[in-house]
Structure 1
Amino acid sequence: MADPAALVGAISDQRAEHGIPHSVSCCVLGVSEAWFYKWRRRPTGPTTREVRRARLEERITYLFRRSGDTYGSPRITLDLWAEGWKVSVNTVAEVMADLGLQGRKPPRRRRSLTWQGKRQAARDLVGRRFDAVAPNVLWVGDMTEIDTGEGKLYLATVIDLFSRRLLGYAMGVNHDAALVAASLKMAVTTRGGTVDGVIFHRLNLVSTAVRPTTSCVTGWAWCSPWDASGRHWTTPPRSRSTR
């Protein structure tokens, strides 16, 4: 269809200049009389709603830029309410979508899989001094989460701080005590099963001394001793290790 304003003007001109009825002109031009009269009565300038919409878009754009392109529709709506605007969050979200404005989402908080617990942790035997003067003096360990195509996988490691050698490791689908025990068991076996007095330290500054026939793991709120043969000793579950 041609420009509606031009069609309305042409139909009106035919009536004024040649006396042709509006109905005839509308029929020739393929438009209805109802459409013609509707457009004829339409205001020439923008409507009140269009003016308000334009002002709203201007304020939303200003508030969004002022926030460093970070505010979303809820926060901008609060600012608009403070200025006296009567507008809903849904309307603000619709306007922002039309303008291509998208607030920056806050970073997702990582859910921790470890906790301190109510029991007192073992005494720190390292004091942030991570220089070992000989092998089997200070070991450190940690747990790492690995994303794979089949799901999450966890890796527990034990490193000797003197040589920086990886002494033991274990991988599994569960972030639990058994995985840590397996990595520390491998480390003890790597050093021949005799590691009298070596300190095992985790990054949360919890450490314990490892004795010839027992090895305690701390920092994960449990202790599981064994000897070089891998035979587990009877130990109360979820107890903190001590020297």
Structure 2
Amino acid sequence: MKYWFMDRHRTCHGVQKMCRVIGASRSGYYRWKREPQSKRHKENEKILMEIRQSYRNSRKTYGSPRITEDLRAKGIKCSENRVARLMKSKGIVAKAAKKFKATTNSKHNLPVAGNLLKQDFESERPNTVWTSDITYIRTMEGWLYLAVILDLYSRQVVGWAMSDRLTSDF
């Protein structure tokens, strides 16, 4: 691994300097450079590329079992243990799924707002009837919440707010 690192950075830093800093021998580096990579190493590199692709496509949620399924679906033969070992060696860890949290509680004795519009979404004048809605937007970083207020007469957006948390003050 250290020789691979040295090989990638030899244009920026001299081999002798890197050997001194890393604590490797120059002769060891050049011996490693002469030897061809093993078939197994080349296979692992190809599998690792596919693992990274599957991991990105799953939004970093797939672990070794699902990634192994993906690879087998693509016709790549490998065991779950091999995928797990390669993922661990590169620090690829699946995000744990968060438990669903109910945000609406309909079983309460609190007063409920009346239906003042009674499904009549027409308005005679501007700024007399406004309506609002909240939309959930999934992004690569998580959920965003968009709250919009519309004037029913002009159908214009009167106001809006966006937040990464669904709280009453946003």
Using the size of structure 1 for normalisation, the TM-score is 0.29
Q: Which has the higher contact order (CA 8 A, sep 6+)?
A: 1
- Structure of greater Rg: 1
TM-score (norm 2): 0.41
